[in-house]
Amino acid sequence: MSTVKFTEEHEWIKVEGDTGTVGITPYAQEQLGDVVYVELPAVGKQVEKGKEMAVVESVKAASEVYAPVSGSVVAVNDKLAGEPATVNAEPMAGGWFVKIKLSKPDELNGLMDQAAYDKYVKGLH
């Protein structure tokens, strides 16, 4: 069974076993507008919860993408280099950024579930 959790910085992580797939939420991509460039970390890079791990640029702005958990990058979505608009079209599916092997699975406990995230986003308006 997989679980999806969310951060206050609008990243999501879908955890399966000891690996999490990470991307930005539909809300985040709507705020950014048309994504034109994505800079991803190298496979093998160690990332730390709450620290910058990637950059996404849109026609409006550049924004950091923060690691929702600590661990090592085991895969990156190479498709985004040639098709960054995938982030807009499929933010929770084909527009994922990286897969992280979790080094501290307990960090997931501090993240929001879908209901809590939806409530959080409503509070931003």
Q: What is the pLDDT of residues 65-105, one digit of tens each?
A: 999 999 999 999 999 999 999 999 999 999 999 999 999 99
**Res 2: pLDDT:** 65
Domains belonging to the chain, first-starting first, are: 3-122 (2.40.50.100)
Under the banding of pLDDT at 50, 70 and 90, the label for residue 3 is confident
Distances (CA, A) of 93 to 8, 54, 77: 20, 17, 11
Q: How many CB atoms lie within 10 A of CB 31?
A: 15
Q: Supply the pTM of this predicted model.
A: 0.95
Q: Are 70 and 48 in contact (CB under 8 A)?
A: yes
